[in-house]
Structure 1
């Protein structure tokens, strides 16, 4: 991972498999680690479990390849947004999960070339599905990003098989962020009902059965929800449980 070390020397160790999460205070709310201002931070969590080797419905290619292309297309929309709103920072982080979690690029200002380079290092599919652990691992980076608006975007094709249950992590994040972290899932070639708990924590899930539907779902969340909120350009009011 020479590229990772060069671009983010202080975080190179995050590109390896992460240890089990440490115990945390069950009541304390999250606090920003740096001063925050206008902008949006998006942690994108990508499933690279063994089932992503399977062919995508209606496509001869593996789901991992189809997802890669859909994510690139989604992120390309950032270029147009940045051109229109150069004073509203967009920061992106990329994470993958199978049986464990890996950081491909910690949350940093949007850079199309760097994002594409990070996506090119997506690991080959294999192993289990640690959705909850990935959410727990990426969440602190949102509070180091220095912006008010915070999002987790998860792309997965299956059930959680390793580590923390995602519904428990989602509820913890909702409670401790006081609703400031929005959580969105795209259920690719799997039932979105598995993630119905997101409605209880101010999040949402969209199902996608094919590659075309995956692109549409990602576009609907990224442009229709995340980037569309930016014109308000203010701090999100906490959502009380």
Structure 2
């Protein structure tokens, strides 16, 4: 699915799929990274195009470093035509073309040189709810994260950045951040189905655990954020 980083009045704004942009994820917290293994690379599929998977392994690369890290910058390509066999947690074989965007992977051998690396083993790793919904959920001390969920290739009109964010006035969306997320049917979870979304674009507001509010009106979203 999912999301180039933009800054507006100092808040982190994540934009997904606008004007054909690829997926870039939010900055990660690396608190748990010290426990990551050295003999395999742990990464997440961020795109699936031009016959290959892109796997971002920035969090693994910065393992052992406590605190916030850049969410992107270190990635490798997995050609879908590669002969390597992927398996899921039960040991069942999975074709590379069937791996979803957002899926967490273990890559062997560990990546040392991006330009020379080639996978000999790929394993789909189990994911927590927080990992699956990472791009939507509020993080740290932030109360809310707002997402404008839309269909790629279709105009979003009044839901675009210019209309929702007023650079001359403080925005309630500054309490956390706001992202534009295009619907990606090949994502690790079908967001449209899971959240029972029948119409897009729609404004979704999440706390650190789940969706707490949705609306089709900017004013209602602002009112909710101002009152909470």
Q: TM-score, normalised by structure 1?
A: 0.26
Normalized per residue, the structure richer in strand is 2
Of Structure 1 and Structure 2, the greater helix share is in 1
- TM-score, normalising length: structure 2: 0.26
The structure with the largest alpha-carbon Rg is 2
